Structure 1
Amino acid sequence: MRIMGLDVGDKTIGVAMSDQLGWTAQGVEVIKRKKIEMDLVRLREIIDEYQVEEIVVGLPKNMDGTIGPRAEKIMEFAEVLKSTFNLPLSFWDERLTTISAEKTLIEADISRKKRKQVIDKMAAMLILQGYLDNKG
């Protein structure tokens, strides 16, 4: 059973995918956002290619655990995903995942330019891996 993890931002969507057994997450790609219709077309292609059965979306809660405007925006997008793809959808608290991804890339001595290209994919991977670890 494949699970897709998403790190949804205003400009990009980081995409990660679980292995068949649902144990590990791998980064797949970063979608450059244009219009929601185009985002949905690309996500549909990925869902079909990997035979996705569930979607996990990172929810950027405030540090005190409350839902702010950014998280509300993500929840609205997730509703569109759920109604469009008719797949089970879960949220995963993504607080600090982008910071953690950035730190890991810096420690690996990845250039700033290269980090910018992969940060969202890595954040999606961390979101999905956290979900998989918790589920297992």
Structure 2
Amino acid sequence: MIIMSVDLGKARTGVAVCDKSEFLASPHTVIFEKSPNKLLEKTAQTAKEVNAELIVVGLPKNMDGSEGESAQNARAFAEKLSELTGTTIVMQDERGTTVTAHNYLNATNTRGKKRKNVVDAVAAVIILQDFLDGRKRDKA
């Protein structure tokens, strides 16, 4: 199944996709959009382009597990995206993914503007890979 993940941001939204075997998540793109409606349209278009059969949206919970305004916004975005695409949406806890993405970029010495432009796609990869790993554990 082709699965796409979304790491929502205020200005940049990362998108990652896995192959049909669900083995490996890869960065796909970063959508540069501040308008919520335009972001929704661009994300839906991306899902269509990659033939996504399932979409995983990062859920930004607080470190104590509670959900604040960002989590509510992510849930609302996911609901609208599901209506627009007709695709099932799954929410995935994304606590720590941006920090992990920065650590990966430190390890590869990615700096400056390039880093800023790819960190969201890397975070989307981590969200998707965590989801895929969870699916594998659940099947085992």
How do 1:46-125 residues align onto structure 2 when only pairs under 5 Å count? 46-125=46-125
Of residues 32-41 and 14-23 in structure 1, the stretch that sits farther from structure 2 once superposed is 32-41
- Which residues of structure 1 form unaligned runs of 5+? none
Matched, 1:13 2:13: yes
Query: Distance in 1 between the 2:95 and 2:112 partners?
Result: 22
**Cα contact 2:10–2:34 (8 A) shared by 1:** no
TM-score (norm 1): 0.94
Residue 33 of structure 2 is matched in structure 1 by 33
Corresponding position: 1:45 with 2:45:
yes
> How many residues are matched?
136
CA-CA distance at 1:43 after TM superposition: 2.1
Q: Distance between the aligned counterparts of 2:44 and 2:78, measured in 1? A: 14
Please list the CA deviations of residues 64-86 of structure 1 after superposition, one character each: whole Å capped at 9, or x if unmatched.
11111111111111111111111
Amino acid at match of 2:74: I
Aligned letter for 1:129?
Q
- Per the normalisation by structure 2, the TM-score is 0.92
| Shift in Å, 1:54 | 0.4
Query: Within 2, Cα distance between the matches of 1:13 and 1:38?
Result: 12
Say which SS state the counterpart of residue 72 (structure 2) adopts.
helix
- Contact 2:40 2:77 (C-alpha < 8 Å) held by counterparts: no
Partner SS for 2:53: strand
Counterpart amino acid of residue 45 in structure 2: E
One-letter code aligned to 1:3: I
Please tell me the root mean square deviation across aligned C-alpha atoms, in Å. 1.2
Deviation string, structure 1 residues 1-31 (Cα, Å, up to 9, x no partner): 1000000011121000011111110000100
1:43-101, Cα deviation, whole Å (9 max, x unpaired):
23322221110000010101111111111111111111111111111011100000000
Distance in 1 (CA, whole Å) between partners of 2:18 and 2:55 is 10
Which letter maps to 1:4?
M
SS in 2 for 1:52: coil
